[in-house]
Amino acid sequence: MSWCQYDLTDLVSGTKMSVKDDMFVSVSNAFSNFAVLMYPFKNASSGGQKRCNLRYNTTDRYVHSVAVVGISKNSANGDQFMLVFAAEKMSTMTPYVCIGEISKSTCINHLQCTDVAPAGSPQQYFLIAVDSNGTFAYGFSSSFAFKLDIYANTMALNLTTNDIWPSQGFIPHAIDVADTWAVIAGYGYSDVVKKDYATLGCLIDLSVLKNVSCLNLTYETTYLIPSNVVSYNELYELSVSIRGQKILVGVQRLSTFVCIEKQRSSLNVTNSYQLSYPDATSFGRVVQWADDTSIAVLVDNPYVTPWSTSEIFVYSERSVTLTTPVFAFPNSQQILGSRLSSPSFSRFGITNGGNMAILTDTGNILVVPLAPAGYVSAWVDTTALTFVFYFRQQLCIGGTYKNHSSLGSCQICGPRTMNPGTLLSGVLQCIPCSNSSSTSLCPLASLADVDSSKVPSYSQAVAYPETSDTTDMEDILLINVFQLSSDSRCLVISPIFWTMITIGICVSILVLMAAIKHCGCENFTKYRKRAKEIFKHTDIIGEGEMWAGGLATLSIFVLVGFSYWFSVSFIRRYPIEEITGPATFACDHSLVNAQFTSGLELLATPKSEEAQPLFDLLDAQTFYLTVELINTGFPCNSITAQENLVSSKYLSLAMNCSQSIPDAITSVTLPFPGHGTTIQVNMTGPYWIGAVRLCIRGNSHTNSNIALLELDFCQFYTTPNEAIGRITSIPISFVKNVNMTHALSDSDPNIYDGIWIPTFSKVVLSDEPYYVEFGNYLRYTSSLTVIKIALDERPFYIKNIEQPIVRMAELVFKAMLFTSLCIELFAFAFLIIKLVMIPVVRWILFLWKILYWKISKSDIQDSSRESKLNSSSSNGSQKLMLKLATDLTMVNETDTSISYRHQEGTQKKYSISNIELDSSTLISRL
């Protein structure tokens, strides 16, 4: 039964490690060994560390606790180190204390041991500590206490607990020592009569080990179980840490730590914090001052991490809540290597210099030195086959900074600031991003000021063309042939414009012919006659009877010629896939000989034999995924890819990776195993991602009239001023897009081509709400960043049909109809001239002549009156006027007769009796 109370594998029971800035000691009863590290926090350039393993010189020893003295005061060259430990002889249950001295250069040691209680006095709690001066060692148990002069190896005091805690039944569980005083946390009677236990904190005067002042640290509504208080129970663990006049006491059972302040000879509780993390099995078993204003607390199983089942949370003493840890250790920048296999932390200690040492449940030791501003202590050799693992000071990684000394990680740069990670000195403050344009990408944790315009999104998905309102060839001809525009280019190519110019030339010729006839130029008469003969032969309007119709025919030729040119150019603009330039023959550059229809059809619908090969090619096309991680520091060796299967099973995928450090871009390319699968890209490391661009590409394939188009699209994902979340899922849905192009000739086969069109859903990219809700420190509790890309196919496809507006045979027929239309238009114009314009002109001329005769008559009458007054000349004047009137009448009759005779070809007879009558009346009056 005596052996049962000594659990040789339990590292939690008692204090099995002790640390100062110049020395660390841990004890393993299982291996009967002391692990001693001298100058554990000194770097290699300053001489490095020295490790010694001190084996027990007996098998009959169980060490309860150990305390570091440090460099011996008797050592002239700093080669001698000292420690003390409290132990028992297991065979006789005799408690004793030993002073050990070790040589740094040789690891030779010797012990001086002293019994402190008689045989048969087994101890559940046997604590030992050394004052800050390294002069005395103090031991406390449930039955005795002592003060040991280390260098004299003599007992200055050796008391029973009744001398220290009279009538309180006090059982010490934890101790920390200052220079002349100490604080012991334990369980004692809150009611001496009822013997109800309470959690007490007691102030000890180290000079006499008396004059104890105790206070109740917690107020509980349930009673403590005596057997758990007296015998060792991990749940009832307590811890104490002193910094100046401030004391911390951790009460694991209540997930609480209490802040106490020493006021002369008494203690006063200033704050009490009770925190309960969702999955934590232990909180506050060990508490330590990280510095003068920061508190470090050991927490078991707060979150699932790949490094350990325990974490050390560091809080500001003025802000202790579930969401306000300043940092947690380990973290993404301070990982634990695979050699430890997710350990649990048994103990940890932080020295007055701010350095930290951790003892794991398997006896492994972590040595974490304080890192200055701009640096972080990181584990370099994560697979070393040893039991001591040293953290080394390293520069803050890209995208982070650190402006003070601490044990924790570097903090991420804020928006619009960056750290490229290539500087040779520590970054105390991030560099402002210089680019202020709208395309500047400089969010949280940036390594570079990236121009997002250099990594744009692009897609092959375009709106299928819509058929214009006019799809009849005759309408298209009429619109484009009889169109005039103020645009100079449109005017130059307008058929009606050149037709009007031709008409103007013809009118000029007509005027010239009329001038030659009326001027009586004999030299040009024969040319006029020959021209009339030629124009009559070209007359298609009057069927060769009118030489003026021949002139109009020239205009018809111009108009019809331009329309033929337009028609030939128009029919060539098919299909649109083969059109390389604008329609220069028309004002509308987008004019095409194509009409379009589009719709959705189910994939389950049977396909024609002509179209089925295209669907087979689409189904067989291999997708290649490229994931571009933008503004990140993830190297290629930290990235893996997998295809997710059912449950948690997956298949690893081969990939190609490249990294551009100046651009802060890492690119990964891999093939998709199928069109309906989920690809997961895993990035392991302490970096963040500013943006992601996904590109999916596929090779083209052509087989006769079937063409699988090349796939190439990219989608850019970012969130303003924030980093991409640690786990991001991006769904992409694909739709088959099938284009059917009818042949221009009925004898040619139809052409099919197809391409996959992606559809992107809006996704949540940022974890910022999570950090706001649960604490910013969580940014650093995971080093795994995951991007999942899920592909699926829609059960329908898009069918686009393209066919010509007009084919060759139809175009020839339409051109013939248009030619006849032009001829009829000009014939109609001639008819209008004959029936309307010429009679109107004649009537205007007639009215003008009447007006002229009236004016002439008035002048004659006025002349007659004047002749009566001048009798001498009246007879001569009357004769003269009579002669003049007669001559004018004859001229008028002659002109009228000529005009009427000229119209006999079209009008067989035209009566002029009224005109003659008027002329006769006028002459008789004259």
**Strand order in 196-205's β-sheet?**
171-177, 181-191, 196-205, 210-216
Given a contact cutoff of 8 angstroms between Cβ atoms, the answer to whether 545 and 536 are in contact is: yes
562 to 390, 478, 818, 819: CA distances (angstroms): 90, 12, 12, 11
- Report the alpha-carbon distance of residue 419 to residue 381 in Å, rounded: 25
Residue by residue, DSSP assigns 669-720 as: EEE-S-SS-EEEEEEESS--EEEEEEEEEE--EEETTEEEPPEEEEEEEE-T
Q: What confidence tens digit (pLDDT) does each residue in 343-357 have?
A: 999 999 999 999 999
Q: What confidence tens digit (pLDDT) does each residue in 599-630 have?
A: 999 999 999 889 999 999 999 999 999 999 99
- Report the alpha-carbon distance of residue 875 to residue 881 in Å, rounded: 10
Which residues are 832's β-sheet partners?
A: none
Phi, psi of 813 (to 5 degrees): -65, -45
Tokens matching residue 647: 């449950």
According to the model, what pLDDT value does residue 80 have? 93
Phi, psi of 393 (to 5 degrees): -75, 130
E strands, 231-354, where? Answer: 238-243, 246-251, 256-263, 266-274, 282-289, 294-300, 310-316, 327-329, 345-350
- Report the alpha-carbon distance of residue 526 to residue 135 in Å, rounded: 147
- Report the alpha-carbon distance of residue 9 to residue 28 in Å, rounded: 8
Q: Give CA torsion, residues 275, 279, 281, 285, to 10 deg.
A: -40
Place of tokens 């994939």: 603
pTM: 0.77
What is the amino acid identity at position 642? Q
Which CATH code for domain 1-164?
2.40.128.630
> 421 pLDDT band (50/70/90 cuts)?
very high
Q: What confidence tens digit (pLDDT) does each residue in 463-496 have?
A: 888 887 777 777 777 777 777 777 777 777 777 7
- Report the alpha-carbon distance of residue 694 to residue 765 in Å, rounded: 14
Q: What confidence tens digit (pLDDT) does each residue in 539-550 have?
A: 666 565 666 666
Nearest-CA neighbor of 142 among 98, 180, 187? 187
Q: Burial code of 899-915, b = ≥16 C-beta within 10 A, e = fewer?
A: eeeeeeeeeeeeeeeeb
* Neighbour count for residue 85 (Cβ, 10 Å): 27
According to the model, what pLDDT value does residue 538 have? 66
According to the model, what pLDDT value does residue 548 have? 67
Average pLDDT of 444-450? 94
Domain edges within the chain: 1-164, 599-803, 836-925
Long-range CB contacts (< 8 A, 24+ apart) of 487-492? 487/587, 489/587, 490/587
Q: What confidence tens digit (pLDDT) does each residue in 278-322 have?
A: 888 899 999 999 999 999 999 999 888 888 999 999 999 999 999
* Neighbour count for residue 53 (Cβ, 10 Å): 12
What is the amino acid identity at position 745? S
Q: What confidence tens digit (pLDDT) does each residue in 707-764 have?
A: 999 999 999 999 988 999 999 999 999 999 999 999 888 778 899 999 999 998 889 9
- Report the alpha-carbon distance of residue 203 to residue 401 in Å, rounded: 42
> 255 pLDDT band (50/70/90 cuts)?
very high
How many residues can be counted in the chain? 926
